């Protein structure tokens, strides 16, 4: 709802004189209570199911079959989902402040721009989850729907946070782009000295405000992004392992293609979430850092103007002393470099799990290996 409010704000920003403010209401409170209720119920059902499945096993042979991997997938995803909802009240004021600053930037934009598709990416994410659920219903017998549907509902929490961060980063990127465009206009269109100094001073303050906004986004959603990145990492490693191992090594889905399709679609959704978040955070920061290049160009054009040179040096110092970045509680920066590092680590652990599984399967007696068919999601209990 807040995402589409920002979209509407961008659409009407050039024509409105008053700035609307985001405020809490009864609808937001009811939505939060509903979500925390659903996530709590999901956590209870998942933990109950996992305990029952563990009690039905005499021993947990993690080197055989997919039991431990599926166990970890269910538990980690459910726990992280409820944590994301639980911390919402802790950052409530900071979140409202971020949205109001985003609204301020949109209303003070000089040039009208087309509405970004970032505001509507929640729709394809939702559609992909629905398609995955349909495929899973075709490929599996859903013996316990009270577990299956709340578990899939838990996917929306991280996706909503990812979309909010992406939208706010998109607003920052567009604001930085407008600042850089105006700096280039000052380079190509010489103006009166007074107007030049006025515009440089205005753009310097504007850049400082947008950088403040980037820092607010980072501090407000730092815990959320940390939990989401942990969830993405665990889900990507285990889903990649479970899907490929069941496809090429085991026969638990013998004769059935839909479980494999559902698993591959799950891996694709997780990968897209990771790329989407890293890309938008990286683009916003890159545009902010690119301002220094435009300042260097402007400095060379106005080399004979002493007052302009002084102001440009101050502007340059402000840009250099504050490097914008979106971080996860300061542990790591969310950008495309992180994406490359995660891919390398995921592939490394994937190969380790494969080797661990191969060694376990070959060292145990064949009769103890997990080769039974799996038709009931999530394949932790006998049908």
HEC letters along the chain: CHHHHHHHHHHHHHHCCCCCCCCCCHHHHHHHHHHHHHHHHHHHHHHHHHHHHHHCCCCCCCCCCCHHHHHHHHHHHHHHHHHHHHCCHHHHHHHHHHHHHHHHHHHCCCCCCCCCHHHHCHHHHHHHHHHHHHHHHHHCECCCHHHHHHHHHCCHHHHHHHHHHHHHHHHHHHHHHHHHHHHHHHHHCCCCHHHHHHHHHHHHHHHHHHHHHHHHHHHHCHHHHHHHHHHHHHHHHHHHHHHHHHHHCCCCCCCCCHHHHHHHHHHHHHHHHHHHHHHHHHHHHHHHHCHHHHHHHHHHHCCCCHHHHHHHHHHHHHHHHCCCCCECCCCCECCHHHHHHHHHHHHHHHHHHHHHHHHHHHHCCHHHCCCCCCCECCCCCCC
Backbone torsions φ then ψ of 87, nearest 5 degrees: -85, 0
Q: Kindly report the average pLDDT of the chain as a whole number.
A: 79
Question: In this predicted model, which residue has the larger pLDDT, 81 or 17?
Answer: 81
pLDDT for position 40: 86
pLDDT for position 274: 92
pLDDT for position 282: 93
pLDDT for position 33: 84
Residue 254, pLDDT > 80, answer: no
Residue 30 pairs in a beta bridge with: none
Question: In this predicted model, which residue has the larger pLDDT, 41 or 23?
Answer: 41
Two tokens, residue 61: 């042979």
Q: How far, in whole angstroms, is CA 215 from its chain's centroid?
A: 17
pLDDT for position 117: 66
Residue 87, pLDDT > 80, answer: yes
For a pLDDT cut of 70, what percent of the chain falls above it? 79
pLDDT band, residue 360 (cuts 50/70/90): low
pLDDT band, residue 370 (cuts 50/70/90): very low
Q: How many CB atoms are closer than 10 A to CB 222?
A: 18
pLDDT band, residue 10 (cuts 50/70/90): very low
Q: What is the pLDDT of residues 300-330, one digit of tens each?
A: 888 887 888 898 899 999 988 888 889 998 8
pLDDT for position 6: 45
Question: In this predicted model, which residue has the larger pLDDT, 4 or 95?
Answer: 95
Residue 14, pLDDT > 50, answer: no
Residue 251, pLDDT > 70, answer: no
Residue 3, pLDDT > 50, answer: no
Residue 381, pLDDT > 70, answer: no
Residue 89, pLDDT > 70, answer: yes
pLDDT for position 382: 56
Question: In this predicted model, which residue has the larger pLDDT, 277 or 378?
Answer: 277
Question: In this predicted model, which residue has the larger pLDDT, 378 or 148?
Answer: 148
Whether pTM > 0.75 for this model: the answer is: yes
Question: In this predicted model, which residue has the larger pLDDT, 39 or 19?
Answer: 39
pLDDT for position 314: 92
What's the whole-number mean pLDDT along residues 189-208? 80
pLDDT band, residue 41 (cuts 50/70/90): confident
Residue 276, pLDDT > 80, answer: yes
What's the whole-number mean pLDDT along residues 110-138? 76
């Amino acid at each position: 709802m807040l995402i589409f409010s920002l979209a509407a704000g961008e659409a009407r920003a050039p024509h409105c004189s008053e700035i609307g403010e985001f405020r809490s209401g009864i609808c937001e409170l009811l939505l939060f209570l509903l979500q925390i209720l659903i996530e709590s119920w999901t956590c209870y059902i998942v933990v109950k199911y996992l305990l029952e499945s563990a009690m039905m096993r005499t021993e947990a042979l993690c080197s055989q079959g997919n039991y431990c991997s599926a166990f970890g997938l269910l538990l980690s995803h459910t726990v992280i989902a409820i944590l994301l909802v639980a911390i919402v009240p802790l950052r409530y004021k900071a979140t409202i402040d971020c949205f109001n600053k985003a609204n301020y930037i949109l209303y003070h934009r000089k040039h009208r721009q087309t509405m970004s598709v970032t505001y509507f990416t929640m729709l394809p994410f939702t559609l992909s989850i629905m398609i995955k659920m349909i495929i899973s219903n075709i490929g599996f017998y859903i013996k316990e729907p009270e577990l299956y549907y709340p578990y899939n509902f838990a996917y929306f929490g991280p996706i909503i946070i990812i979309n909010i961060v992406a939208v706010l980063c998109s607003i920052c990127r567009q604001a930085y782009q407008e600042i850089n465009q105006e700096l280039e206009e000052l380079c190509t269109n010489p103006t009166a000295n007074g107007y030049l100094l006025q515009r440089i001073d205005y753009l310097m303050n504007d850049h400082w405000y947008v950088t403040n906004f980037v820092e607010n986004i980072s501090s407000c959603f730092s815990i959320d992004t940390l939990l989401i990145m942990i969830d993405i990492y665990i889900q990507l490693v285990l889903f990649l392992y479970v899907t490929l191992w069941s496809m090429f090594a085991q026969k638990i889905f013998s004769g059935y293609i839909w479980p494999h399709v559902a698993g591959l679609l799950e891996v694709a959704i997780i990968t897209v979430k990771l790329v989407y978040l890293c890309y938008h955070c990286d683009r916003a920061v890159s545009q902010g850092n690119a301002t220094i290049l435009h300042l260097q160009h402007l400095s060379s054009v106005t080399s004979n103007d002493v007052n302009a040179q002084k102001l440009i040096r101050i502007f340059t110092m402000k840009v250099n002393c504050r490097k914008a970045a979106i971080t996860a509680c300061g542990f790591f920066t969310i950008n495309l470099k992180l994406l490359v590092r995660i891919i390398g680590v995921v592939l490394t652990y994937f190969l380790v799990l494969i080797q661990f599984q191969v060694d376990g399967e070959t060292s145990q007696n064949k009769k103890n290996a997990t080769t039974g068919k799996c038709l009931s999601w999530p394949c932790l209990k006998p049908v």
